[in-house]
Amino acid sequence: MTAAALGAYIVFEDEAGFSMTPPRARTWGRRGHTPVVRMRGRSWRRWSIAAMCCYRPGETSRLIYRPRRHRKHRGKGRDSFAWNDYRDLVVRAHIQLQAPIVLIWDDLNTHRAAGMRDYAAAHDWLTIVQLPSYVPDLNPVEGVWSLLRRGPLANTAFTDDEHLERTLRRGLRHIQLRPDLIDGCLAGTGLTPTRRQQSEELSRHSHGRRGGSFSRPRTTSNCLGWPRTVPAWTRGRRVRRADAPHRTFA
Containing structural domain, residue 115: 3-18+43-189
Whether 32 maps to a domain, the answer reads: no
* Phi, psi torsion values for 119, nearest 5 degrees: -65, -45
The total number of structural domains in the chain stands at 1
Residue 226 domain-assigned (yes or no): no
Flag whether 162 is in a domain. Answer: yes
Whether 116 is covered by a domain: the verdict is yes
Taking the C-alpha atoms of residue 19 and residue 79, their distance in angstroms, rounded to an integer, is 13
CATH number of the domain residue 167 falls in: 3.30.420.10
User: Domain for residue 59, yes or no?
Assistant: yes
Closest CA to 1 of 200, 169, 145: 200
| b/e map 137-172, b = 16+ CB within 10 Å | ebbbbbbbbbbbbebbbeebebeebeebbebbeebb
Q: Which of 40, 1, 57 is nearest to 163 (CA)?
A: 40
Q: Outline where 153-235 has alpha helix (H).
A: 161-176, 179-189, 196-206
Total residue count of the chain as it appears in this document: 250
Residue 119 lies in a domain: yes
Q: Is residue 10 part of a domain?
A: yes
* 30 within a domain of the structure (yes/no): no
- pLDDT, averaged per 10 consecutive residues of the chain (250 residues), comes to 84 92 78 77 76 94 91 62 94 95 93 94 94 90 94 86 90 96 94 61 42 49 41 39 41
User: Which amino acid type is present at position 26?
Assistant: R
Percentages helix, strand, coil for the chain (3-state, rounded to 5) are 35, 20, 50
Identify whether the C-beta of residue 47 lies closer than 8 Å to the C-beta of residue 67.
Answer: yes
